[in-house]
Amino acid sequence: MGLFNRGSKSDVPLSGDEWSTNGHGPKRTDDEERNVVEREHVPVTEPEREPEAIEEPHSAEASPPEPEEEPAMIEEIETVEETPVAETTEVEPETETEPEQEPAPVEAKPMPPVNREEPQDGDDARLSAEQALAPVRRPGMSRPPGAHIGDESERRAKIISFANQKGGVAKTTTTLNLAVAFKESGHDVLAIDLDPQGNLTMSQGIDPDKVERSMYDVLVDHIPIRDAIQQREIDIAVASIDLAGAEIAMSMQIGRERSLEKALSAVVDDYDFVCIDTPPSLGLLTVNALTASDKVIVPVQCEYLSMRGLVQLQNTLEMIRENLNPRVQIEGILPTMLDSRTIHAKEAVEILEENFGELVFKSRIRKAIKFAEAPVRGSSVLKYDPQGNAAQYYRDLAEEVLTHGAS
């Protein structure tokens, strides 16, 4: 077998000459042949060690210890393999240069808190949260929908309700004509019709049966109040017959007493005055008006039965102050439909002044046919008969309210 293996190698001469690489005889023992084969296989596993494998077998006597030297060769190979590892470590500094760029973002992580602390040293020069939000409450700018209107000092508009559970005391006439008198004085005014009869709406020439959006939609469906406002002599949020069912529809709503207050929050900075005409009852619509109001003007017909309703209204206001709106107060009690020719009318005014003192306005709204004629023309009495006595009554009342109120 040994000879067959040697004959199969390409280094053996084909002429029959003996093969020799170190000058020894041609004949070799089987052990020597195994050593030769083993040495020949070493370069195959590690081509780089072929020169060393060829140089070692100088004699046949040195071949036996070769198995002991192979571990050394393996160790040398391992050392050779370690050198590339060292080379990789030499390459790693190149990669270490890249981490030198990475520390920048790593160091940037603690930077945000540092940046947050820097402005704290100059807090005096920085706007506070309240100052940043303050422009929202400047005149002409509206509040976010659903917000409360807040205290009167925090907004532009002064909100006045005209309330008396007794009908026929000139609430609608007073609401419209006082609002127009405010407008003549250079103020921006919004009138709100909360009466299902829609008399204030009709007094400005608007048919309540033909309006697309009304206060019913504002209170029940929570549409923006601007969608229900129409421009006439003043801006007016119109009513419709649907308001008759508003109290039933609102009865199941959460926060139903504040529906009007929330709706007004979007426009309270667009107007100087908001005048609310209420229905002749103390139901949910009137409660909404009182909850949103700063002041209440109580028109009172100069008759005994009309004055009895003041006690009930005072009880309602006390309930509103305790539970819903602590700021609402009576601005004044206004004697209306006064006929100075009758003793009964004079006595009624005296009873008002004795019981309510300074709450009674000095102004008097006397009977005049112009108050009945003006709504037919779809206008206020100030526009219908600007030079008449009827118009002057409300101009005097507007001046009294603008100066210091009933007191």
> What pLDDT is recorded for position 29?
55
Distance in angstroms (rounded) separating the CA atoms of residues 294 and 326: 9
Mean pLDDT of all residues in 127-134: 48
Q: What is the pLDDT of residues 249-261, one digit of tens each?
A: 998 888 899 999 9
Name the nearest CA neighbour of 250 among 277, 212, 285.
285
Annotated domain spans of the chain: 2-9+27-80, 158-403
Reported as a pLDDT band with limits 50, 70 and 90, residue 159 is very high
> What pLDDT is recorded for position 355?
86
Mean pLDDT of all residues in 155-167: 92
* Phi, psi dihedrals of residue 311, rounded to the nearest 5°: -65, -45
Reported as a pLDDT band with limits 50, 70 and 90, residue 31 is low
Distance in angstroms (rounded) separating the CA atoms of residues 278 and 297: 11
Supply 376's token pair: 């037919």
Higher pLDDT, 345 or 228: 228
Mean pLDDT of all residues in 329-339: 93
R_g of the chain, CA atoms, integer Å: 52
Beta bridge partners of 301: 336
Distance in angstroms (rounded) separating the CA atoms of residues 399 and 405: 9
**AA identity, residue 73:** M
Higher pLDDT, 156 or 228: 228
* Phi, psi dihedrals of residue 369, rounded to the nearest 5°: -65, -25
pTM score, whole prediction: 0.64
Residue 199 CB partners (closer than 8 Å, separation 6+): 172, 193, 277, 375
Reported as a pLDDT band with limits 50, 70 and 90, residue 32 is low
- Residue 45 pLDDT exceeds 70: no
Instruction: Strand 158-162: give its sheet, edge to edge.
Output: 229-231, 235-237, 189-193, 273-277, 158-162, 295-301, 329-336
Counting Cβ atoms within 10 Å, is residue 248 exposed (0-12), middle (13-18) or buried (19+)?
exposed
- Residue 15 pLDDT exceeds 70: no
Say what percent of the chain tops pLDDT 70.
62
Reported as a pLDDT band with limits 50, 70 and 90, residue 177 is very high
Given CATH 3.40.50.2300, say whether it is the number of domain 158-403.
no
Tell how strand 273-277 and strand 189-193 pair up.
parallel
- The alpha helices in 102-187, defined as continuous H runs, are 103-108, 111-117, 129-133, 171-184
Residue 283 CB partners (closer than 8 Å, separation 6+): 247
Distance in angstroms (rounded) separating the CA atoms of residues 393 and 383: 13
